[in-house]
A and B are shown apart, each in its own frame.
Chain A
Amino acid sequence: EVRLVESGGVVVQPGGSLRLSCAASGYIFGDYAMHWVRQAPGKGLEWVSMITREGGSTYYADSVKGRFTISRDNSRNSLYLQMNSLRTEDTALYYCARDRGGSSYDFWGQGTLVTVS
């Protein structure tokens, strides 16, 4: 069974930093690109970042470019999101999601809540 479990969400002050993690199980982690997607309170889904299977290429939404860094450790079946210079508008539930190919997502985690206040 494919499982994605996010962790690391907490309350942090504006300007602070945070690192989110996503632990994957039930499949060969290195065979799939991975994404972070977020949902702010009362808002829709917003794509945040993507990393290719081997980690050689990364992509970011303009809203987080230069502040967030996505990475992965295929030996640990883990995905990460380093979040720096946090703003109140970064407050959201952050999901990791598996790319089924072409950037649609066949599995999602339950999400981890980041509150910047």
Chain B
Amino acid sequence: DSGVTQTPKHLITATGQRVTLRCSPRSGDLSVYWYQQSLDQGLQFLIQYYNGEERAKGNILERFSAQQFPDLHSELNLSSLELGDSALYFCASSIYRGGDTEAFFGQGTRLTVV
């Protein structure tokens, strides 16, 4: 167990719908990252938050948005879903303190758009 919790584990929804994926980072970790992994694909960086503020943005679609709340949990919102959005969405968290910067991944949310 990495200490990073993602809910739900599985999500099946129809095209055009909107979903919210939730991530609770490890206790004390200030950074939260979201990655998308499509079938047979690598880990595509979507967005990073650090202590509540957006820190970096990757190739995140305009239909997607995210936020990090004061308690440091994060949510990734996906709207106007398309078949191609079906993927495994990972959240990771890390803390930078004295050189410790390992990122720990959650188990992922498998999104299936039908």
A in complex with B? no
